[in-house]
């Protein structure tokens, strides 16, 4: 790709700088590299987040096919963002992490030599470094900025220099980003699409269309090639993208969470507003800053959603430094005019100060971490050995009871709802349901992937079960159809502490369900369950967002409804609903409140009898009517078939 004829580069190239100015920028770039050298491998752990990190490592080691055998918000390259020393993929992760940083440092260095002024170049590096320096709790370990920023950097270079060739590495990186974490891939793809539209709007010619088509080939070629290496056969790429899209689709109305210690949504939202206002003003004034604002807008919005939906300190600090770093992109375009450069420099430095206000660190951490990580890379064999030695201690702590292991042998095993450390620590033959952490199967399509797995020929012989759920949900009503299928096909054969060992039956507990009534109730209106006699009652609850709710979910988030369960013993419990899955049905007549009740349900067929249920809408963003359908286990059309038909509609 050659420069556009008849146009000039927007920013000054390197040869226009004096030797002192060049030396200043070389020192700044060296400082950026030194302070942002990443950690290469992390220790294994136990719990919700450590379990998905272990899970994606095991998926790669075992060769599970993404989109068919396995689906998560992290893709087949997700192991790079949370590498563990659990197998040969740790070396791949180190090499890819190094390549990602080289791409980031290269793009940042090239842009730095298009920034005029000592203060402006210092501001550029300070803001850029936010995405790579040591912050409290090492939230930059996830490399969110290192995925997004080089894509934006190369696209901005293509725009500033009017050299479309710079967009090629951006397209390759954006294609790879779709396989790391889906929302990061969408952010990068959105920026690539915006740049393509800007180029086409400037020169709507056949030659430009052809070049953009070639750029698309680089994007899809990168994605397809890496997927074949790490994800599975090329035929699974489209199912992987569909499953990833499904995981994203329900996030804003299911995974909402609030941490009162955080600044609330206004801080990341104000970043999006400032970028939007900057774009509008720069377009109106035909300013050179318009491309920078346009390129950052889609990633800024994606990061904002990540910060405010699951509003926790971890989610906030993963994205907040990157939002600050993106503000540095205005400096290369603002450098030609002194007044614009001074204003942009002041604004970016203010963003850096604001960034550290919410993402604190210390000089000692910033200065020491990079050299320490460089030493760890230099002694990589020792680094890997040290991690494996630490992990071996954890592995011993996570050993399952001997009677569990004796019974399991080399048979296939799954864990429910999420603790994959049991698989790794006991070297078990893992056969996971595709959505391997229950709380992420929050749509009927995702729920049915688990149903098909437990019902099909690849179903595990054993399941290690714990009666847990997040966000005050009831474990039986999360991936509710998957849980019903688990209960239909598995018997309790052993228990130890908070763990149950379930073994697959030769036949399901029941084969059909009979209609037991329909009703339409309002929120807060109690519904009395029909009696099931010797069987169980399942309830389908169909809820729908109002128009305002749909708009709010797109722009912000909507809290899910609550379910109040009245038990026969007079106790009432409130559970947060996985409301989309409620349309497929959940076990209603015997809803275990704790592990002991779950044991009774598996052993006796009933526990914690429920007399009535009501639904509540704290957000006020759902339509007022809830359509209910009750089913009794028994003879007739199977519950599973009914759910599949409902999902198809």
Q: How much is the pLDDT for 292?
A: 95
Measuring CA to CA, how many Å separate 126 from each of 13, 28, 119, 132, 311? 21, 9, 10, 11, 26
Is 29 a domain residue? no
Same domain, 216 and 92: yes
Looking at the domain assignment, is residue 381 inside a domain?
no
Q: Are residues 52 and 419 in contact, defined by beta-carbon separation less than 8 angstroms?
A: no
Mean pLDDT of 266-274: 92
- For tokens 């847990």, the residue is 468
- Higher-scoring residue by pLDDT: 9, 258: 258
Q: In what order do the strands lie in the sheet with 537-542?
A: 512-522, 625-634, 537-542, 586-587
Inside any domain, residue 488: yes
| CB 558, CB 549: distance < 8 Å | yes
Q: Pick from 111, 197, 104: which is nearest to 157 by CA?
A: 111
Q: How many residues does the chain have?
A: 649
434/459 Cα distance (integer angstroms): 11
524 and 492, same structural domain? Answer: no
Give per-residue pLDDT as tens, 280-332: 999 998 888 999 999 999 999 999 998 899 888 888 888 999 999 999 999 99
What is the structure's pLDDT at 220? 97
| One domain for residues 174 and 230 | yes
pLDDT at residue 9 in the model: 45
533 and 420 inside one domain? no
Predicted local confidence at residue 394, as pLDDT = 86
* Boundary (domain end) residue, out of 461, 485, 504: 504
Residue 513 contacts residue 633 (beta carbons within 8 Å): yes
Mean predicted confidence (pLDDT) in 627-642:
64
Is residue 202 scored above 50 in pLDDT? yes
Give me the pLDDT at residue 11, please.
46
pLDDT band at 137 (very low <50, low <70, confident <90, very high): low
Are residue 439 and residue 572 in the same domain, yes or no?
no
- 327 and 186 share a domain? yes
The answer to whether position 30 is within a domain reads: no
Phi then psi for 358, rounded to 5 degrees?
-100, -15
pTM of the model: 0.91
Residue 217 shares a structural domain with residue 312: yes
pLDDT at res. 43: 87
Q: Confirm if 9 and 111 have CB atoms less than 8 A apart.
A: no
Torsion of CA 529, 530, 536, 541, to 10 degrees: -50
In a 13 Å sphere around the CA of 597, the CA atoms on its Cβ side amount to: 16
Closest CA to 445 of 622, 238, 643: 643
Mean pLDDT of all residues belonging to the chain: 90
Digit-coded pLDDT (tens) for 372-393:
999 999 999 999 999 989 888 8
pLDDT-based confidence at residue 438 (cuts at 50, 70, 90): very high
- Let me know if residue 55 belongs to a domain: no
> Do 563 and 622 meet the contact criterion of CB atoms below 8 Å apart?
no
Instruction: Answer yes or no: is pLDDT of 178 > 90.
Output: yes
The Cα 394–Cα 399 span in angstroms is 9
Which residues, 6 or more positions from 401, have their beta carbon under 8 angstroms from its beta carbon? 494, 496
To the nearest whole percent, how much of the chain has pLDDT over 90? 76
- The CATH number given to whatever domain includes residue 598 is 2.60.120
Q: Is 200 helix (H, G, I), strand (E, B) or coil?
A: helix
Are 168 and 277 within one domain?
Answer: yes
Kindly report, residue by residue over 394-406, the tens digit of the pLDDT: 888 889 999 999 9
Instruction: Please check whether residues 497 and 517 belong to one and the same domain.
Output: no
Residue 593: inside a domain: yes
- Spatial distance between the Cα atoms of 157 and 152, rounded to a whole number of angstroms: 9
DSSP letter string, 545-582: B-HHHHHHHHHS--PPPEEEEEETTS-EEEEE--TTGG
| Domains in the chain, number | 3
* Low-confidence winner among 112-116, 258-262, 288-292 (lowest mean pLDDT): 258-262
**Closest to 188 (Cα-Cα) out of 202, 164, 171, 213:** 171
Q: Is residue 52 part of a domain?
A: no
Average pLDDT over residues 34-49: 91
Domain span including residue 410: 396-504
- Cβ atoms of residues 212 and 196 within 8 Å: yes
pLDDT value, residue 634: 67
Q: Residue 134: which residues within 8 A CB-CB, separation 6 or more?
A: 35, 140, 361, 365, 366, 368, 369
Lowest mean pLDDT among 134-143, 329-338, 615-624: 134-143
């Amino acid at each position: 790709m050659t420069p556009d004829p008849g146009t000039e580069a927007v920013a000054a190239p390197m040869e226009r700088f004096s030797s002192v100015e060049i030396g200043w920028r070389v020192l700044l770039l060296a400082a950026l590299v030194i302070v942002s050298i990443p950690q290469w491998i992390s220790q294994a752990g136990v719990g919700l987040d450590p379990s998905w990190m272990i899970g994606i490592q095991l998926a790669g080691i075992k060769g599970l096919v993404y989109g068919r055998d396995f689906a998560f918000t992290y893709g087949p390259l997700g192991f790079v963002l949370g590498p563990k020393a659990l197998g040969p993929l740790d070396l791949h992760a180190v090499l890819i992490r190094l390549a990602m940083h080289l791409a980031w440092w290269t793009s940042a260095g090239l842009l730095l030599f298009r920034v005029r002024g000592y203060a402006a170049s210092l501001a550029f590096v300070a803001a850029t470094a936010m995405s790579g320096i040591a912050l409290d709790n090492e939230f930059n370990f996830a490399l969110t900025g290192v995925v997004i920023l080089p894509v934006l950097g190369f696209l901005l270079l293509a725009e500033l220099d009017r050299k479309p060739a710079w967009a090629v590495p951006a397209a390759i990186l954006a294609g790879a980003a779709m396989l790391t974490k889906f929302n990061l891939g969408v952010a990068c793809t959105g920026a690539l699409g915006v740049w393509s539209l800007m180029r086409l709007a400037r020169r709507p010619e056949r030659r430009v269309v052809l070049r953009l088509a070639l750029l698309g080939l680089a994007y899809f070629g990168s994605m397809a090639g890496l997927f074949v290496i790490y994800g599975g056969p090329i035929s699974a790429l489209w199912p992987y993208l569909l499953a990833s899209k499904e995981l994203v689709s329900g996030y804003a109305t299911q995974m909402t969470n609030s941490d009162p210690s955080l600044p609330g949504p206004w801080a990341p939202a104000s970043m999006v507003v400032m970028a939007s206002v900057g774009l509008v003003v720069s377009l109106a004034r035909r300013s050179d800053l318009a491309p920078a604002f346009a390129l950052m807008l889609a990633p800024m919005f994606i990061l904002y959603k990540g910060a405010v939906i699951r509003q926790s300190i971890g989610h906030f600090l993963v994205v907040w430094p990157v939002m600050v770093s993106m503000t540095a992109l205005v400096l290369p375009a603002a450098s030609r005019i002194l007044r614009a450069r001074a204003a942009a420099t002041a604004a970016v430095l203010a963003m850096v100060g604001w960034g550290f206000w919410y993402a604190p660190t210390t000089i000692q951490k910033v200065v020491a971490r990079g050299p320490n990580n460089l030493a760890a890379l230099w002694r990589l064999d020792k680094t890997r050995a040290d991690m494996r030695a630490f992990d071996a201690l954890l592995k011993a702590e996570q050993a399952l009871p001997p009677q569990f292991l004796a019974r399991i042998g080399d048979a296939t095993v799954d864990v429910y709802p999420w603790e994959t450390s049991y698989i790794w620590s006991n070297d078990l033959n893992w056969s996971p349901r595709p959505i391997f952490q229950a709380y992420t199967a929050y749509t009927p399509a995702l729920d049915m992937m688990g149903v098909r797995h437990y019902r099909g020929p690849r179903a595990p012989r054993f399941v290690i079960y714990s009666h847990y759920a997040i966000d005050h949900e009831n474990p039986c009503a999360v991936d509710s159809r998957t849980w019903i299928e688990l209960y239909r096909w598995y018997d309790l054969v052993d228990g130890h502490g908070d763990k149950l060992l379930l073994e697959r039956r030769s036949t399901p507990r029941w084969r059909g369900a009979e209609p037991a009534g329909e009703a339409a109730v309002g929120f807060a209106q109690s519904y009395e369950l029909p009696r099931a006699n010797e069987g169980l009652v399942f309830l389908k609850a169909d809820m729908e967002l109002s128009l305002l709710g749909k708009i709010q979910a797109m722009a912000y988030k909507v809290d899910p409804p609550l379910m109040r369960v009245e038990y026969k013993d007079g106790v009432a419990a409130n559970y947060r609903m996985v409301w989309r899955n409620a349309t497929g049905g959940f076990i209603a007549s015997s809803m275990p409140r704790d592990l002991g009740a779950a044991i009774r349900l598996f052993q006796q067929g009933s526990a914690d009898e429920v007399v009535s249920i009501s639904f509540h809408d704290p957000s006020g963003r759902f339509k007022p009517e809830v359509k209910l359908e009750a089913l009794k286990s028994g003879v007739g059309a199977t519950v599973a078939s009914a759910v599949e038909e409902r999902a198809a509609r």
